[in-house]
Each structure stands twice: as C-alpha cells, then as structure tokens.
Structure 1
Amino acid sequence: MMAINYDALMRQAFPDLVRSYSWRDTILYALGLGIGTDPLDPAELAFVFEQRLQAMPTMAVVLGHPGFWYDRPEIGIDLRSVLHGEQSLTIHTPLPPEGVVIARNSVDEVIDKGEGRGAILRVRRDLIDQASGALQSTQVMSIFCRADGGFGGPSMGKPQPESVIPDHPPDLSILRPTLPQSALIYRLSSDLNPLHADPDVARAAGFERPILHGLATMGIAAYALIAGCRAGDAAALRDLRCRFSAPLFPGETVRTDIWNLDDAFVFRCTAVERDKLVLDRGRAVFA
C-alpha cells in the first residue's frame, strides 16, 4: 500500500468556491437540526420563520465544501480507514440569513502519529462575505486517517485549545429530540452520502440503520448552547469545537451537558436512549 504523500498533500490547491444561499436554505438547515420541534417557542421560531430570521452559526460548515478530493491514489490515503475526527469553527462576523460567500479551502497541516497510530489531516476553510469582502468564519476539519501513520511527516501540530471535561456534574443539561427523518432533511443542506439515507448502505458499513451526520450533531449541540447559555442569541457565538465519538441515530434524544468555566463553556453530548457518548471535548466561547 502506498504511504501518505506529505508533499502532495501540502501542495494541494483548491479553486475558490462561490456559494449563494437564501432564507429558505437557512430554514432548511435549522429544520435538519430539529429546530422548530416546538413551533410555539419564540426562540426556536427565530431560526425557522423568515420574519426576524437568524442563521445558525454552524450553517457555515455546509457552505463551500471542496468535495471528496482526497481519493486520488497519488495522495496515498487509505479511504477505508478515514474518519471525521474533530471540527472547529471560529466566527469573525455573524452569518447573515442569506447572502453569497466565497470559500477558500486549504490543507492546514498533516500530522504523523506514528506507525500503527494513524495520521491527522486538517483542512481549513475561510468563508468570505462576497459583498463586503469581510472574513466571516474560519473552520478546520480534522480527518483521522487510522491506517496511515508512519509516513515520516511532522509528529506535532499547531497548539489546540484545551477542552477537558471537569470531573463533577454539569452546570446545565439540555435535552433535544431528533426526528426519525432528521438525516433525510439535513442531507439536503450538506452531505448526500447514502450512509445517511439508505439502510442497505448503512448495514454494509456496520450500522443497524442510517446514521445522522456528525456535523448535524455538532449543530444540535450549538443550538443547546445558544439557547441555554445566551438565551437564543446566535450572534454571540464566537468559537465552537468538538470531537466526534460515535454516531447518533435519527430519532434519538441528545443530552448536551455543559460546564461553565468562566472564559468558555465545555460540553459533551450523549444519545440518551443508549447512554452513548456521541460528541466529546466540546468547547464554546461567546462574546
């Protein structure tokens, strides 16, 4: 098997992607997160009704994705062992409910964890508001390449913020239901991988049924944080990051446990029905 080609990855070039989105896209994204389950709740309605509409900050992660670009043989990644491990989102200016953005993707770093320990590929995306030229957000997707360690690359990466979960009960726990059709709705905003829709594909991948997108679980946690820590003010969120631990199944209830550390909130998410940790080492910073 070919080893990761570090130089080829670091030279990878991406064209700028221009993405326009409307208020309908903003509402569809929020519905995919289960927002609007209580249509009489003004806090939820603010994300799913075109009057006084707010965009969920995490919608930035579905705008301007470069596609499945790392499947080329010369890059040397074993695609059978690739997982979306972590995600970060830094918000420089709130995402408007409709507009046009320019996405600039780049390989941020590739870390060699060593033979038998895998590698980490971090892909950065800057979103720029086309009308103003302002940098709207910076996001980094960390891809864990489980079978690709030991290629001779750097063993250390850029420093990452600490997201240690305290060893005491949370300051706040928020329950959010998901709908059985959550993945079918969310995929219309983002990833059309049949793993999230086709039971046969899901079973072939080792799951009992289609799973929800990891980024949707992140969005559900973001709404819990915005509702519970900032009374529904989406514009207050400045930074969000987490690690994906296990898949969530559509229809399950998500419990987001939150700890207030004064300068930040740390959090994790559990699928209540299975008592399964699905998202860990979360960290959120508000203005």
Structure 2
Amino acid sequence: MAIDYDKLMNWKFDSVESEYTSKDSILYALGVGLSADPLDMDQLRFTYEEDQLALPTMAVVLAYPGFFLKDPQFGVDWVKVLHGEQGIEIHKQLPAAAKVIGENRFTEIIDKGEGRGALLFSERKVYEKSTGDLLATLTSTTFARGDGGFGGPAVEAPKPHTLPDRAPDTSVEMPTLPQAALIYRLSGDFNPLHADPRVATAAGFEKPILHGLATLGVAGHALLKETCDYDPSRFKSLKLRFTSPVYPGETIVTEMWKDGSEISFRAKVKERDVVVLNNGRAIVE
C-alpha cells in the first residue's frame, strides 16, 4: 500500500484534549535531567511545586495525538519511519498545570523517489482550554524510509540551519541517568525500544536508547541555563535535526554560538564524540 498524498494532506484529525498537572511538569523535568543537583535552586523551580515553572520544551508532550502513522489507511510503512527534525515555537509561557487542546495537520509530503523514502511534515498547535490562547506550535519532520516513489511532489526539502564557521562560543555539559529513558517515557512515549532490552537488541542497538525528544529536552535545558538564566519567558523557539541516538547514562555536551537573540547549537555525546543533535537554532530574549 502506497502513501495517498491527497488523503494525508486533507486528513481532518480529531482535536486532542488533555490535562497536565503540577506532578506531570515535575516528572517531565526530572525525565530530562533537572535537579541532578538537588540543591540547585534555579532547577528546583521546575521540580518542586512551590512557585513552580514549566520547561518550555515540555510543549512537545502536550496534547500528543499518538503514533497516528501506524494507521494502515495512511499507507505508511511505519516500521521504517524515523523522527528527522523537531521545532518548537512558544507563543505564551507554559503554565505549570493546565487543560490543553491540540490541533494536528500535515503541512507537506515530499517524495524523494523510489528507494529514497519520503518526508512527512506535520504541525501541532497547542491551546490553553480555559483562555483559548495559543501556547505553542510544534513542527515535526518524519523520514519514511520505505515510502519513496508514491507519485507525490518531488520538490526540494527545506535546508537545515547552517552552524557558524567558527569555534563554539560556549558549551554546557550535562550527564544523563542510566534510568533516564524509564523516567522520560512516563511523559507519554511508551515505545518499548526505550525500555525493553530485547526490543532494543532486535532493532540493532546494544541496549535501550534515550528518546530523541528527551535528548532535545536536555539540550533545551542547556540553552535555558546558558542563555536565559533559567527564565522560561525568554525562551521563544527551537528547531533541530536528530542525527544519532543517545544511550541513557551518557553525557550530552551542547555547543552554542551566540549571535544576538539567535543561538546556533548542536549536541554531542562526550563518551563517543558523536553528534546527536545538529543544525540547531534557538531564539531567546
């Protein structure tokens, strides 16, 4: 079964309504590594209910529609899909607890050709139910490795952000816990690849890997610390490309280039010197 371009582009998703609590915001923050030093008062604002704040990157788990590409009517070989890119735009600082509504749609599908796969671009807008205010816009690029040649548009994909041609201005090193994936999955992504060693080895990994969005959260934490002094109201947007998996327990080093309000960045695993997030661009105030 091949991708039906018209069906996907015109697909009307049901709205996703969900509620998250102070406890959920704390759990997300712990899942991406905050309060490794429990005496750090800046980080404690995100992991303790007194005067609590929510991490901006938590937007990625709000009103999550689930793995809809698994639905056979979309014609996608879901076993071969990879999360290629992720973007976050914050329109209003996230509350520590709220009821939210998510609206999802496909924005473009690019046919890379037979044997080369397809790119699926999707968007999720998250609204605060009580006010109707738009909290965040999430954009995602999915690489469907097994679905090229379906007859869709063969336009060129958007170019990723180019990192500056100079040494990074600064870097932030953050360890991850060996059980990080087991904590992060409680925020909503229960893919057994991140928990069950048998599933991980069958997929070609030596052990369960960290969620890509958890790695994004670690880099987002580094940006919040280094460029926003832990003030989430200054964090406006982020976009990056996933390039390699992280194993829980590894150390993530986020390198940054500062050009006014634009922060270019990438993240590496210290132990293996492998770039795991690349072509990153954030806007801060």
Same fold (TM over 0.5): yes
With the length of structure 1 as denominator, give the TM-score of the two structures: 0.96
What is the deviation of 1:249? 0.6
The counterpart of 2:280, out of the listed 269, 279, 282, is 282
Distance in 2 (alpha carbons) for counterparts of 1:80 and 1:58: 26
Tell me, yes or no, if structure 1 residue 26 matches structure 2 residue 62.
Answer: no
Which residues of 2 match residues 158-169 of structure 1 at below 5 A? 163-169=161-167
Q: In structure 2, what is the equivalent of residue 238 of structure 1?
A: 236
What is the deviation of 1:255? 0.1
Distance in 1 (alpha carbons) for counterparts of 2:134 and 2:274: 37
Q: In structure 2, what is the equivalent of residue 54 of structure 1?
A: 53
Distance in 2 (alpha carbons) for counterparts of 1:226 and 1:259: 14
Distance in 2 (alpha carbons) for counterparts of 1:166 and 1:116: 33
Q: Percent identity?
A: 49
Distance in 1 (alpha carbons) for counterparts of 2:201 and 2:43: 34
Question: Does the CA contact (< 8 Å) of 1:253 and 1:273 recur in 2?
Answer: yes
Q: In structure 2, what is the equivalent of residue 66 of structure 1?
A: 65
Are the structure 2 counterparts of residues 158 and 236 from structure 1 closer, same or farther at C-alpha, using a change threshold of 3 Å?
A: farther
Distance in 2 (alpha carbons) for counterparts of 1:240 and 1:21: 22
Distance in 2 (alpha carbons) for counterparts of 1:45 and 1:55: 11
Unaligned runs of 5+ in 2: none
Unaligned runs of 5+ in 1: none
Matched position secondary structure for 2:70: coil
Distance in 1 (alpha carbons) for counterparts of 2:188 and 2:284: 26
Distance in 1 (alpha carbons) for counterparts of 2:99 and 2:67: 23
Distance in 2 (alpha carbons) for counterparts of 1:71 and 1:141: 16
The counterpart of 1:261, out of the listed 259, 262, 267, is 259
Distance in 2 (alpha carbons) for counterparts of 1:18 and 1:233: 28
Q: Which sits farther off after the overlay, 47-56 or 3-12?
A: 3-12
Tell me, yes or no, if structure 1 residue 207 matches structure 2 residue 212.
Answer: no
Q: What amino acid is aligned across from residue 198 of structure 1 in structure 2? A: D
| CA deviation map 1:123-162 (0-9, x unaligned) | 21100011111111111111001121222212237856x5
**Number of positions where the alignment pairs a residue of Structure 1 with one of Structure 2:** 285
With the length of structure 2 as denominator, give the TM-score of the two structures: 0.96
Question: Does the CA contact (< 8 Å) of 2:110 and 2:157 recur in 1?
Answer: no
Tell me, yes or no, if structure 1 residue 198 matches structure 2 residue 216.
Answer: no
Q: In structure 2, what is the equivalent of residue 216 of structure 1?
A: 214
Which residues of 2 match residues 31-110 of structure 1 at below 5 A? 31-110=30-109
Question: Does the CA contact (< 8 Å) of 1:34 and 1:182 recur in 2?
Answer: yes
Matched position secondary structure for 2:26: helix
Question: Does the CA contact (< 8 Å) of 1:255 and 1:269 recur in 2?
Answer: yes
Distance in 1 (alpha carbons) for counterparts of 2:106 and 2:67: 13
Distance in 1 (alpha carbons) for counterparts of 2:2 and 2:259: 42
What is the deviation of 1:167? 2.4
TM-align CA RMSD: 1.4
Matched position secondary structure for 2:162: coil
Question: Does the CA contact (< 8 Å) of 1:109 and 1:157 recur in 2?
Answer: no
